[in-house]
Amino acid sequence: MTAIPRSTPRVLPGLSLGLGISILFVTLIVLLPISGLLWQLAQLTPADYFRVMSSERVLTALRVTLTAAAAATLINGVFGLMLAWVLTRYRFAGRGLIDALVDLPFALPTAVAGIALVSLYDRSGWLGSVLDKFGLQVAYTWWGIMIAMIFTSIPFAVRAIQPAIEELDPDEEAAALTLGANGVQRFLRVVLRPLMPSILTGVGLSFVRSMGEFGAVIFIAGNLPYKTEIASLLILIRLDEFDYPAAAAIAGTLLLLSVILLVAINLAQTRMQRYLRAEG
Amino acid sequence: MTFQALDIHKSFGDTEVLKGVSLSMKEGEFVALLGPSGSGKTTLLNIIAGLAHADRGQLLFAGEDITRLPAGQRHFGFVFQNYALFRHMTVAQNIAFGLRVLPRKSRPSRSAIAARTRELLEMIEMADLADRFPAQLSGGQRQRVAMARALAIEPRLLLMDEPFSALDAQVRQSLRESVRDLQRKAGVGAIMVTHDRAEAWALADRVAVMNEGHIVQFDRPEVLSSNPSSDFVRLLVRADAA
Amino acid sequence: MTRFILIALSLLFLGLMVILPVIAIFHRAFADGFDAYRAAILDPETLAAIRLTVIATLLVLPLNVIFGVAAAWAIARFRFVGRRVLLILIEIPFAVSPIVAGLCFLLIYGAYGPVGALLEPYGVQLMFNLTGIVLVSAFVTCPFVMREVLPVLMVTGEDEELAAVTLGANGWQIFRHVVLPNISWGLAYGVVLTMARAMGEFGAVSVVAGAIRGQTMTLPLQIELMYNDYNATGAFAAATVLTALALVTLVLRGVLNRFGPKKEAHA
Ligand SMILES: Nc1ncnc2c1ncn2[C@@H]1O[C@H](COP(=O)(O)OP(=O)(O)OP(=O)(O)O)[C@@H](O)[C@H]1O
Ligand SMILES: [Mg+2]
φ and ψ at residue C198, rounded to 5 degrees: -65, -40
Q: In one letter, which amino acid is C227?
A: Y
Asked if A11 and B56 come within 8 Å (Cβ–Cβ), the reply is no
**Whole-number Cα distances in Å, C215 to B15, B41, B214, C130, C238:** 65, 67, 73, 9, 17
CA of residue B43 to ligand 1 center, whole Å: 6
B chain contacts of residue C163, beta-carbon cutoff 8 Å: 78, 80, 84-86, 149
- Whether B71 is covered by a domain: the verdict is yes
Q: Which of B74, B80, B120 is the best residue to mutate to test the C interface, defined by the most C CB atoms within 10 Å of its own CB?
A: B80
Q: CA gyration radius for chain A? A: 24
- Whether B164 is covered by a domain: the verdict is yes
**Whole-number Cα distances in Å, B93 to A114, A196, B134, B149:** 52, 50, 11, 9
* Residues spanned by the domain of B224: 3-85+155-241
The total number of residues shown for chain B amounts to 242
- Percent of chain C having pLDDT more than 70? 96
* Local confidence pLDDT in tens for the 280 residues of chain A: 334 444 566 889 999 999 999 999 999 999 999 999 999 999 999 999 999 999 999 999 999 999 999 999 999 999 999 999 999 988 888 888 899 999 999 999 999 999 999 999 999 899 999 999 998 999 999 999 999 999 999 999 999 999 888 888 777 777 777 777 777 777 787 788 888 888 998 999 999 999 999 999 999 998 888 989 999 999 999 998 989 999 999 999 999 999 898 888 888 877 877 777 765 4
- Whether A38 is covered by a domain: the verdict is no
- Helix locations, B85-168, DSSP H: 91-100, 110-123, 139-152
Please, which residues have CB within 8 angstroms of residue A48's CB and are 6 or more apart in sequence?
A245, A249
- Whether B189 is covered by a domain: the verdict is yes
Query: How do residues B195-225 score in pLDDT, each as one tens digit?
Result: 889 999 999 999 999 999 999 999 999 999 9
**Cβ pair B41, B209 in contact under 8 A:** no
C218 touches chain A (CB under 8 A): no
Q: C-alpha C3: how far from its chain's center?
A: 37
- Whether B131 is covered by a domain: the verdict is no
- Whether C110 is covered by a domain: the verdict is yes
Check residue C212 and give its pLDDT.
65
Q: Is the pLDDT of residue B46 over 50?
A: yes
Check residue C214 and give its pLDDT.
62
**Whole-number Cα distances in Å, A254 to A246, A247, C97:** 13, 11, 8
- Whether C58 is covered by a domain: the verdict is yes
Check residue B217 and give its pLDDT.
95
Q: What angle do helix axes C20-29 and C232-259 make, rounded to 10 degrees?
A: 130
**Cβ pair C185, C261 in contact under 8 A:** yes
Angle C121-C127-C128 from CA coordinates, rounded to 5°: 120
- Whether A155 is covered by a domain: the verdict is yes
Q: What gap in Å lies between CA B31 and CA B190, rounded to an integer?
A: 6
HEC string for C39-101: HHHCCHHHHHHHHHHHHHHHHHHHHHHHHHHHHHHHHHHCCCCCHHHHHHHHHHHHHCCHHHH
For residue A11, the 8-state DSSP code is S
Asked if B88 and C173 come within 8 Å (Cβ–Cβ), the reply is no
CA of residue B52 to ligand 1 center, whole Å: 12
- Whether A96 is covered by a domain: the verdict is yes
- Helix locations, chain A, DSSP H: 15-26, 32-42, 46-53, 56-89, 95-101, 104-107, 110-121, 126-133, 142-167, 170-178, 183-186, 193-212, 215-221, 231-240, 244-279
- Whether C23 is covered by a domain: the verdict is no
Asked if A9 and B51 come within 8 Å (Cβ–Cβ), the reply is no
Q: Which of A17, B89, B146 is nearest to C177 (CA)?
A: B89
B chain contacts of residue A3, beta-carbon cutoff 8 Å: 55-56
Asked if C267 and B134 come within 8 Å (Cβ–Cβ), the reply is yes
Domain count, chain C: 1
The enclosing domain of C92 has a CATH number of: 1.10.3720.10
B15, B19, B33, B43: residue to mutate for ligand 1 pocket, most atoms within 8 A of CB:
B43
C chain contacts of residue A22, beta-carbon cutoff 8 Å: 67, 70-71, 74, 86
Q: C-alpha A259: how far from its chain's center?
A: 12
Check residue C263 and give its pLDDT.
43
Please, which residues have CB within 8 angstroms of residue A187's CB and are 6 or more apart in sequence?
none
Mean pLDDT score, B4-29: 94
- Tell me which of A82-86, B7-11, C148-152, C213-217 is least confident: C213-217
* Residues spanned by the domain of A254: 62-108+149-213+226-279
Residue of chain C with shortest Cα separation from A24: C67
Asked if B51 and A11 come within 8 Å (Cβ–Cβ), the reply is yes
Confidence of residue C80 (pLDDT cuts 50, 70, 90): very high
C3 touches chain B (CB under 8 A): no
Asked if B53 and A9 come within 8 Å (Cβ–Cβ), the reply is yes
Q: Which long-range contacts (CB under 8 A, 24 or more apart) does A39-48 make?
A: A39/C107, A39/C108, A39/C114, A40/A244, A40/A245, A40/A248, A40/C107, A41/A248, A41/A249, A41/A252, A43/A245, A44/A245, A44/A248, A44/A249, A48/A245, A48/A249
**Cβ pair C75, C83 in contact under 8 A:** yes
**Minimal-distance CA residue to ligand 1 atom 30:** B38
Strand duo B214-219 + B64-65: pairing: unpaired
- Whether C26 is covered by a domain: the verdict is no
Question: Across the interface, which of B72, B77, B78 has its CB nearest the CB of C169?
Answer: B72
Check residue C266 and give its pLDDT.
36
SS3 for A80? helix
The enclosing domain of A255 has a CATH number of: 1.10.3720.10
Q: What gap in Å lies between CA A184 and CA A176, rounded to an integer?
A: 11
Domain count, chain A: 1
**Minimal-distance CA residue to ligand 1 atom 12:** B17
- Whether C22 is covered by a domain: the verdict is no
Q: Which of C14, C232, C35 is nearest to A124 (CA)?
A: C232
Q: What gap in Å lies between CA A14 and CA C129, rounded to an integer?
A: 34
**Minimal-distance CA residue to ligand 1 atom 4:** B12
- Whether B231 is covered by a domain: the verdict is yes
**Whole-number Cα distances in Å, A1 to A4, A5, B67:** 10, 12, 21
- Whether B17 is covered by a domain: the verdict is yes
- Whether A203 is covered by a domain: the verdict is yes
Q: Is the pLDDT of residue B116 over 60?
A: yes
Domain count, chain B: 1
Q: What gap in Å lies between CA C70 and CA A17, rounded to an integer?
A: 7
**Minimal-distance CA residue to ligand 1 atom 1:** B12
Q: Which of A143, A147, A108, A145 is nearest to A233 (CA)?
A: A145
Q: What gap in Å lies between CA A52 and CA A31, rounded to an integer?
A: 26
- Whether B146 is covered by a domain: the verdict is no
Lining ligand 1 with CB less than 6 A are B 12, 17, 35, 37-43, 195
Which is it for the CA torsion C112, C114, C115, C121, positive or negative?
Answer: positive
Q: What gap in Å lies between CA B185 and CA B178, rounded to an integer?
A: 10
* Residues spanned by the domain of C86: 41-266
- Whether C190 is covered by a domain: the verdict is yes
- Whether C128 is covered by a domain: the verdict is yes
- Whether A205 is covered by a domain: the verdict is yes
CA of residue B45 to ligand 2 center, whole Å: 9
- Whether A100 is covered by a domain: the verdict is yes
B16, B33, B39: residue to mutate for ligand 1 pocket, most atoms within 8 A of CB:
B39
**Cβ pair B200, B207 in contact under 8 A:** yes
**Minimal-distance CA residue to ligand 1 atom 17:** B42
- Whether A160 is covered by a domain: the verdict is yes
**Cβ pair A124, C17 in contact under 8 A:** no
C81 touches chain B (CB under 8 A): no
Check residue B242 and give its pLDDT.
43
Chains that touch C (3 or more CB pairs under 8 A): A, B
Q: Is the pLDDT of residue B11 over 70?
A: yes
Mean pLDDT score, B218-241: 86
**Whole-number Cα distances in Å, A127 to A123, A148, C19, C23:** 8, 14, 13, 13
Strand duo B157-161 + B76-79: pairing: parallel
- Whether C83 is covered by a domain: the verdict is yes
Question: Across the interface, which of B77, B97, B142 has its CB nearest the CB of C267?
Answer: B142
- Whether A86 is covered by a domain: the verdict is yes
The enclosing domain of B24 has a CATH number of: 3.40.50.300
